[in-house]
Amino acid sequence: MLSPSAFRDLASGRRRGLAASLSRCLMRTLEVPYTAAVRLRNWRYDTGRSQIHRVDVPVVSVGNITLGGTGKTPTVEWIVRWFSDQNVRVGILSRGYGAQDGRPNDEALELAEKLPGVPHVQDPDRVRGARRAIEEFGCQLLVLDDGFQHRRLARDFDLVLVDALEPFGLEHVVPRGTLREPLAGWSRASALMLTRTELADDDERSAIRRRAARLAPQAIWLEATHCPQALRSPGGAEQPLESLAGQRILTFCGIGNPAGFRHSLAGCHYDIVASREFADHMAYTPESVHELARWSDGQEAAAVVCTHKDLVKVGPTWSGTKPLLALSGRLQIVVGQAVLEAQLEPLVRRALERR
């Protein structure tokens, strides 16, 4: 199975040779029926042939049109905090992808650390999950995590994230590219938010925005950064990023787009001596964690650095002699925040009517 980076190297054309070319031809062949199926599904919802269910409270969806790694979890955190600051009782809904034996998955564990006390219902049937969140937890508003393609549950606001590193999904739908659906799907978005904008220059951001405006003229435009602020230990203690500056470190991650993590590390001026990459939503077992610890113990380095998403799964059973730390930071909206808040204000009023 290809790692996320190896898949992108192949799909983007960076990997050359006869075998790579034949693989791309096969991927293109498989893209055609998948795209047709996605278009048919969207057509059924657009024309009312498939039912869309509305619940009694406002629903805000945070999603994307490409494969993982656009920054959904920090964006969900930002949205939940904003509504909570308006005294709205917020609940989070997610499918629970990658969950093991009914336990919370990595995103749920990460959000639970950052948003203690916020109900998080994981259910593949998100209509059922929404009703449960309202009835059992008294939620006045729901945030649908990774919900753009989940159209059974009606939403009042669709926030779609666009990764500055890979905004257009390599121009192909999976498996030939990283698009979950054709770019025309942006026409359903209420807002488009360019994430990791610190990694694109002014010309690149402007070009992305112009194309997005053609594809989704109705959507408001936002730009956000997600810069690391501290290093977090499994116990929750934090230390300055500068504490490892110039030192040798090891890294690993199991996320959808490792390139973003690598860029964040590069900005911290660490000396990365070895890295390991795993599939998104990696289900770390005791054996795999032990093997990671043995790998790290065999290297000369001051610490092992991973993502927060990995830390919540690996940290509790970490047995390595080197400290395990995660980059910790928060999303900051640098373009369009006032416009976004104006769009969300009516949902606050509706939510507070439900006491």
Mean pLDDT of 311-322: 94
Same domain for 125 and 262?
no
Return the CATH number at 283.
3.40.50
Same domain for 215 and 234?
no
Same domain for 145 and 179?
yes
> Average pLDDT over the chain, rounded to whole?
94
- Does position 97 have pLDDT exceeding 80, yes or no? no
Provide the whole-model pTM: 0.91
CA 218 to chain centre: 23
Pairing between β-strand 238-239 and β-strand 228-232 as defined by DSSP bridges: antiparallel
Mean pLDDT of 312-316: 93
How deeply is 210 buried, as exposed, middle or buried, from its count of CB atoms within 10 A (0-12, 13-18, 19+)? exposed
Residue of 43, 113, 48 whose CA lies nearest to 313: 113
Q: Sign of torsion, CA 17 18 21 23?
A: negative
Backbone angles phi, psi at 182, to 5 degrees: -60, 155
Q: What is the dihedral of CA 78, 81, 84, 89, to 10 degrees?
A: 70
Q: Tell me: the pLDDT tens digits for 57-73?
A: 999 999 999 987 788 99
d(CA 245, CA 270): 5
What residue type is assigned to position 304 of the chain? V
In a domain, residue 24? The reply is no
**Buried (b) or exposed (e) across 235-260, using 16+ Cβ within 10 A?**
eeeeeebeebeeeebbbbbbbbbbbb
Mean pLDDT of 199-206: 94
**H/E segment holding residue 176:** none
- Does position 171 have pLDDT exceeding 90, yes or no? yes
d(CA 64, CA 161): 5
**What pLDDT shows up at residue 98?**
63
What residue type is assigned to position 80 of the chain? V
In a domain, residue 248? The reply is yes
Same domain for 130 and 170?
yes
Same domain for 178 and 288?
no
**Structural domain total, the chain:** 2
Same domain for 89 and 204?
yes
Same domain for 173 and 266?
no
Same domain for 143 and 216?
yes
Same domain for 141 and 210?
yes
**What pLDDT shows up at residue 135?**
97
Q: Tell me: the pLDDT tens digits for 231-287?
A: 999 988 999 999 999 999 999 999 888 888 888 898 899 999 999 999 888 889 999
Same domain for 117 and 172?
yes
In a domain, residue 168? The reply is yes
What domain range includes position 195? 59-226+332-352
- Does position 197 have pLDDT exceeding 80, yes or no? yes
